[in-house]
Structure 1
Amino acid sequence: MSAHQHAHAEFPLGPFRPYEQNPIMSPQGDGWESGSVYNPAAIVKDGQVVLLYRAHADDIVSHVGYATSDDGIHFERRPEPVLSPSEDYDRFGCEDPRVTEVDGTYYLTYTGWDRTSALLCLATSTDLVTWEKHGPMFPDFNTFLPQGNGQDAPWSKAGGILPVPIDGRYLMYFGEGSIWYAWSDDLIHWKPCSNDEPLMVPTGPGTFGEFLVEVGPQPIVTNNGLILLLHNAAVKNDDGTVRYTCGQLLFDPADPTRILAQMNRPWLEPTTHEDTHGLVSNVTFVEGLVHFKDTWFAYYGQSDSTLGVATYRVGDRYSDLAGR
């Protein structure tokens, strides 16, 4: 079995239970993470869970912080961010990271924000601390097509890279609004599909993804070799507010640009006070997923304000959780 194939991953992954003592991380201090702490990438390194999390002060200029844990719940943070605005394209924020490791190199996708366009960007590292930026990946793309987002400026977010190649090429799912895909020979240079051919568009009226769908954490390979992608989905209320929940998609590596199966109800949704009250209320937004010590940990932002986790202990069944 490939090192990237998980013996305990299948579709649908779960059941996940939110940790009863969420949030596991909150804003702190009076500096770069004093306003909000949320939307983390996650990976296992040297026997620890590492979170690369989004944080900002009241100015909402985001940085990426670094935290480690021996149990997946209790984290120690580095005092300074590991990725910060430095270029024109990300001068008002390095947002919403996802991370994948291939042959000792870490590939971080994040959103560069210049207050006009949100652009999917790439950075690489060999230690998760020192990062080299490679710039915007798809500077002319608009992932909100076909429905549009009310502006003409380019827009792209949310890149999840599959760590195992398919026929010698690497695959990435990306997009906010609709979901798209791209291929790469070297993990640095990526060729997207046509902007006219989204892989998944928002779901039908009355469903939990009718406003938008967006890539969650990096995809994983299941126990029978299929590709599993967790995603975020949103509805927009009549008063303009939104509600974000989480779904799952399944793909066949022989045909990874067509959905094989999808959940038709959320596996994670706002329930607690932190989930329903914050900078953007009614949001559970998953960006980190790891298998660690016989448990799956899904890390998510709570209302763009705090950071929570939901866990699935391998062997748990939905019927066993009834009434808990």
Structure 2
Amino acid sequence: MISSKLKYIAVSFLCVATACNTSAQKEEVTKENSEISTTEKQWMIGPFERPENAQPIIQRDTTATFDDPMTGEEVVWQSMATFNPAAIVKDGKINVLYRAEQDRHTDTIGGHTSRIGLATSEDGITYERAEKPIFYPDNDDQKEFEWTGGTEDPRIIESEDGTYVLTYTQWNRKTPRLALATSKDLKNWTKHGPVFQDFKDGKYHDMDTKSGAIVTQLKEGKLVATKINGKYYMYFGVPHIWLATSTDLVDWQPVEDYAGNLAPVLSPRPGYFDSWLVEAGPPPVLTEDGIVVLYNAGNSKNIGVEDLGNRVYTSGQALFDANEPWKLLDRTDKPYLKPELPFEKSGQYKDGTTFVEGLTYFEGKWYLYYGTADSMVGMATAEAK
């Protein structure tokens, strides 16, 4: 999200990271004000609700250590923050892959090192964390793209043959690049490098890219990658959302217009909550109504929604045609999720964020996972329709 210094948004800022104030976060939230969905459209996924007395499900850990391949030293790998989660169901458990930042003693957002940790849950309520990161910048053939900023902001899907496909941001403190890795067990990973490195001799290789969300479909109670007219589709990018296609989930080609330029399929709207930027969220879902894209939205209050303030991240939904994934059919006029609780307005991004990246289907419910203020992980659920 913010950590990769999005040069085309042309905004830089400093904020002082605040420690987690656990007592303040334990304010009771009644079920009435925990409902976070606004006026519903029939095609939307939801409405989503926070749990009663909602609290973050994952927070920073100042004790867990890891032997860092970059420095050869033992580091406290999630001492700064834990946020921006992906989610997948495996072996009857929800697996939450979250971005964990190591505190590098700087106040600059993007100045820390990110790795990806894993938390699992058998009931969707309690989560057990792995002691070590499961995905990280290593002494491998991707270090030029991942040292020393790290591996950030995961999204994950499962293919029909059971392969897990991870999209993430490689951050070398120069250019954020959308990259991809695959695994059969969520532990052993093959990194395939920057997604657009070889397309048209690297035309988009040095362009800031991120947030790759591959279209899925619910089949027999399980979300899996799905083809549309023989191709997989991926929504990606910020401050606009673009499209890419693939036949194998590894090699991707951006969708261009007749002039050879990226063709935005969703853009910011003056006058709305998404007036500053839009960014792909968790893997979209192909439904009987079309492709439902859950996206993140940034506000610019002078041309957007004044009450939200500047740079506040909320979440919207958009509907695209099932056969023409570039064709926008409808989108929400108000966010279905926005920062409201204390832990959603604290930490590195005190203006507030509810940054959605993880969506999965578990025991008849939708589970939505989001990053809060670049600091913690929140969760909301919705009954299946």
Q: TM-score, normalised by structure 1?
A: 0.87
* 2:150 pairs with 1:96: no
- Between the aligned partners of 2:328 and 2:87, the Cα distance in structure 1 is 25
Find the counterpart in structure 1 of residue 266 from structure 2: 200
Q: How does 1:274-289 map to 2 (within 5 A)?
A: 274-281=343-350, 282-289=352-359
Distance 1:110 1:285, change over 3 A: same
- CA deviation vs aligned residue, 1:220-240 (integer Å, no higher than 9, x gap): 122x262111000001457x9
- Between the aligned partners of 2:43 and 2:289, the Cα distance in structure 1 is 11
- Between the aligned partners of 1:115 and 1:16, the Cα distance in structure 2 is 36
- CA deviation vs aligned residue, 1:201-224 (integer Å, no higher than 9, x gap): 1112x31111100000011122x2
- CA deviation vs aligned residue, 1:97-132 (integer Å, no higher than 9, x gap): 000100110110000011111100000001111111
Distance 1:141 1:200, change over 3 A: farther
Which residue identity does 1:157 align to in structure 2? K
Q: How does 1:200-239 map to 2 (within 5 A)?
A: 200-204=266-270, 206-222=271-287, 224=288, 226-236=290-300
Which residue identity does 1:188 align to in structure 2? V
* 2:90 pairs with 1:45: yes
Which residue identity does 2:114 align to in structure 1? S
Gaps spanning 5+ residues in structure 2: where?
A: 1-41, 64-75, 105-111, 216-224, 303-308
Find the counterpart in structure 2 of residue 318 from structure 1: none
Return the index of the structure with the highest Cα Rg: 2
Deviation for aligned residue 1:141: 6.6
Pick from 17, 25, 28 the counterpart of residue 61 of structure 2: 28
- Between the aligned partners of 2:255 and 2:230, the Cα distance in structure 1 is 17
- Between the aligned partners of 2:274 and 2:144, the Cα distance in structure 1 is 33
Structure with bigger strand share is: 1
* % same residue: 43
Q: How does 1:160-179 map to 2 (within 5 A)?
A: 160-162=213-215, 163-179=225-241
Deviation for aligned residue 1:159: 0.3
Tell me the secondary structure at the aligned position of residue 17 of structure 1.
Answer: coil
| Contact kept in structure 2, 1:141 and 1:156, CA below 8 Å | no
| Contact kept in structure 2, 1:39 and 1:53, CA below 8 Å | yes
Find the counterpart in structure 2 of residue 292 from structure 1: 362
The Cα RMSD (Å) is: 1.9
Which residue identity does 2:94 align to in structure 1? V
Gaps spanning 5+ residues in structure 1: where?
A: 1-9, 144-152, 316-324
- Between the aligned partners of 1:271 and 1:98, the Cα distance in structure 2 is 24
Distance 1:141 1:264, change over 3 A: farther
- Between the aligned partners of 2:204 and 2:211, the Cα distance in structure 1 is 12
Deviation for aligned residue 1:84: 0.5
- Between the aligned partners of 2:84 and 2:123, the Cα distance in structure 1 is 19
- Between the aligned partners of 1:175 and 1:136, the Cα distance in structure 2 is 14
